[in-house]
Amino acid sequence: MKEVLRLDHVKKVIKGKKIIDDLSFSVREGEIFGFLGPNGAGKTTTIRMIVGLMKISEGDIVIAGKSIKKDFTKAIGQVGAIVENPEMYKFLTGYQNLLQYARMHEGITKEKIAEIVELVGLTDRIHEKVKSYSLGMRQRLGLAQCLLHDPKLLILDEPTNGLDPAGIREIRDHLRLLTRERGMSVIVSSHLLSEMELMCDRIAIIQNGKLIDVQTVNEFVQNRTATYQIETGSLGDAAFWLKSEWNIVMSKEGFTVETERENIPLLIRNLAAAGVDVFGVKTISKTLEDRFLEVTNK
Amino acid sequence: MGKLILNEWTKLFRRIGTWVMFGIVILMVIGMGTYLKYDESNHPPQENLNWKQDLTVQLENDRTSLEEVGQNNANLRTFYERQIAIKEYQIENELSPETGQNVWSFIGEAMGAIGFIGVFTIIIAAGIVSNEFSWGTVKLLLIRPMKRTRILLAKYLTVLLFGISMLSATFLIAAVIGFALFGLPEQAIPHLAYVDGQVVERSLFMQLIGEYLLGSIDVLMLATMAFMISAVFRNSSLAIGLSLFLMFMGGTVTMIVASKYEWAKYILFANTDLSVYFDGVPLVDGMTLGFSIFILFLYFALFQFLAFFVFAKRDVTA
Ligand SMILES: Nc1ncnc2c1ncn2[C@@H]1O[C@H](COP(=O)(O)OP(=O)(O)O)[C@@H](O)[C@H]1O
Ligand SMILES: [Mg+2]
């Protein structure tokens, strides 16, 4: 598959501090790519470099074959982006805002604007001042602004921030539609993982400016050990070796342990030998959230 | 570029504040006209029948001054020579000085509004870049397929356009009000210019336009400085504060420095009033029109270089 975006050993140093350290990954045509990391991981900084708002200290970023460093105008012409919040001119109407951006690209017709406004569902309110818009509507206007020039790559920085579940669902549906129908590629950043699971095809995890892992969502959820909830009576002295050998976490009913399935019988035998009453064993299905914490806590 | 300027213009005029600025300037001109009309009806102008004698007395004084100070100060010598030539010309050609107000003299009076135009243009120049940063909209503005310098240039041209619009509005309103309240002068009066030792008659209309433009040079320079500060520091308060402070104090401070040190002639404000080369005396002995234009150009280039260089290079973290 063709790649739409490639980061090549990208580094960013601000005031002697390494914010982004040797980041490389690529985004393929037509995929929704999740960019995941806790707050302060460097997601926004990376996005700022991709769209040329920040200079790249070392390395290069290539969008649709053009380097953002050497060929800024050609590269950025293929990108639609919202960096952090979708801040628009509040004293203009939604339509006047879109006109501002339409004038900065070649050949965007009135019909095109109307089509995009329809797509994001703002037709009824587009001639009202942005001041009066809810966050969800601003988010939609932000999306419209990205789509005017039919970019190959859409970049949304934490688009679900502050939205209610319905708004989040709406964004998700939009992105699916755009990738399927228009063949766009999308990068979505987030620190919320439950969202990514439903939205993305592949996910990159960054922490402290470093790439930890890139995986497809399926690999991500499958490739794992499981957590088991063991319901027990009092542990007594057994708590010591359980903690040191099995790395258990105490809970109300007993403890949880994270291990492979094959190890469970051994654990039960050991517990029985130590005289601990076992009332039940339960598998807790692990969410992406847990998996994420697991990866970032390494 | 036209589309970018249209964008900036829209952003300016979709905000009430900009209209208020125009409103204030227009009201000021109207107020000035009303006051002068009221004043004129209380003290009707009287034709001075002895104007020739009066001018002759003034001529004598000018000649004595020329003898006394003209020897060692070239600029003062030019000044008095010019005064003498023009007065002689007036007497010879029976051009009595106009006593009452008329549309032309009122347009001249309305130049007092240029101070306000200056304040407003500086405020616009100070905000046009830094607002985008404080609004956060700069992130959407700078991810378009055009160079940052192009966008900045459009913003600068918009500031110029704004200043010129205010100036033209003032001129036009003053012409309309002046004509309505005071009418045309009884006889057409030419402007007397002194060129290469000769007195020549010039169109008063063109002369007034020239005076408006010359009177706006310090506004142009300070607005350019405010624009530069705004682009470099991304802070409109700093840009407004510093520029307005210099606008009000710069001239005075320069004058104080000039009374002690000759290097005062390199200060921006020693050079912003080019009209001294046409009917006045420059601040420091030996300054010429060419010198002042050169200094103005240097400052202008410095401001522009800083603005464009820094704006194109710096990371956008808004
Ligand atoms: N302009 C800046 N100057 C100094 N440090 C910065 C700057 N911008 C971001 N940082 C630091 O870089 C790190 C990454 O920030 P950011 O990219 O905003 O993270 P994220 O978007 O993943 O929450 C943070 O530790 C932040 O403090
Ligand atoms: Mg962020």
Distance from CA of B239 to the nearest CA of A (A): 22
Q: Is the pLDDT reported for residue A221 higher than 60?
A: no
- Kindly list the protein residues whose Cβ atom lies closer than 6 A to any atom of ligand 1: A 14, 19, 37, 39-45; B 317
Whether the CB of B143 is below 8 Å from some CB of chain A: the reply is yes
**B145 in contact with A at a CB cutoff of 8 Å?**
yes
Is the domain spanning A3-220 CATH 3.30.1370.160? The answer is no
Token pair 């830094």: residue: B130
Determine the residue among B6, B138, B143 to mutate to test chain A binding: the one whose Cβ has the most chain A Cβ atoms within 10 Å: B143
The H-or-E segment that residue B20 falls in is helix B16-42
Q: Which fold has domain A223-297?
A: Alpha-Beta Plaits (3.30.70)
Across the beta sheet with A278-284, the strand order is A249-250, A254-259, A226-232, A278-284
For B78, other C-beta atoms within 10 Å of its C-beta total 17
CB contacts, 8 Å: B154 with chain A: none
A66/B contact by beta carbon, under 8 A: no
pLDDT on residue B300 = 93
Q: How confident is the model over A266-285, as a mean pLDDT?
A: 86
Shortest distance, CA A99 to any CA of chain B (angstroms): 8
Inform me whether the pLDDT recorded for B154 exceeds 90.
yes
pLDDT value at residue A198? 78
B96–chain A Cβ distance below 8 A for any pair: no
pLDDT band at B121 (very low <50, low <70, confident <90, very high): very high
Alpha carbons within 13 A on the beta-carbon side of B263: 0
CA distance B300 to chain A (A): 27
Of B136, B143, B317, the CB nearest to A81: B143
pLDDT on residue A177? 83
Find, in chain A, the residue whose alpha carbon is nearest to that of B132. A89
> Which of B5, B134, B140 has the most A C-beta neighbours within 10 Å, making it the best mutation to test the interface with A?
B140
Q: How far is CA A110 from CA A88, A107, A124, A128, B11, in A?
A: 20, 10, 16, 17, 20
CA of A45 from ligand 1 middle (Å) equals 6
Q: For chain A, give the mean pLDDT.
A: 86
ipTM: 0.79
Mean pLDDT, to the nearest integer, of B192-214?
77
Which pLDDT score is estimated for B8? 95
Least confident segment among A35-39, A162-166, A277-281: A162-166
Please say if the pLDDT value at position A240 is more than 60. yes
Residues forming CATH 3.30.70 domain(s) in chain A: 223-297
Residues 187-226 of B with CB under 8 A from A: none
Average pLDDT estimate for B255-260: 84
DSSP-derived pairing of the beta strands A153-157 and A79-82:
parallel
Ligand 1 center from residue B137 Cα (angstroms): 19
Residue with CA at minimum distance from ligand 1 atom 24: A40
Q: How far apart are CA B116 and CA B97, in angstroms?
A: 30
Give the pLDDT of residue A287: 57
Rounded to whole angstroms, the Cα distance separating A248 from A229 reads 10
Q: Report, as an integer, the average pLDDT of A16-42.
A: 90
Q: What is the pLDDT of residue A161?
A: 79
The confidence score (pLDDT) of residue A225 equals 67
Domains of chain B: which residue ranges?
2-45+100-310
Q: How many CB atoms lie within 10 A of CB B186?
A: 11
Alpha-carbon distances, residue B71 vs A290, B75, B77, B78 (angstroms):
93, 10, 7, 11
- At position B249, the amino acid (one-letter code) is M
Return the pLDDT at A67.
Answer: 92
Average pLDDT over residues B7-27: 92
Parts of chain A belonging to CATH 3.40.50.300: 3-220
Question: B108-132: buried (b, 16+ CB within 10 Å) or exposed (e) per residue?
Answer: bbbbebbebbbbbbbbbbbbbbbbb
Q: Collect all residues of chain B within an 8 Å Cβ-Cβ radius of residue A99.
A: 10
User: Which of B3, B7, B145 has the CB atom closest to A76's CB atom?
Assistant: B145
Gap between the Cα atoms of A234 and B143, Å rounded? 62
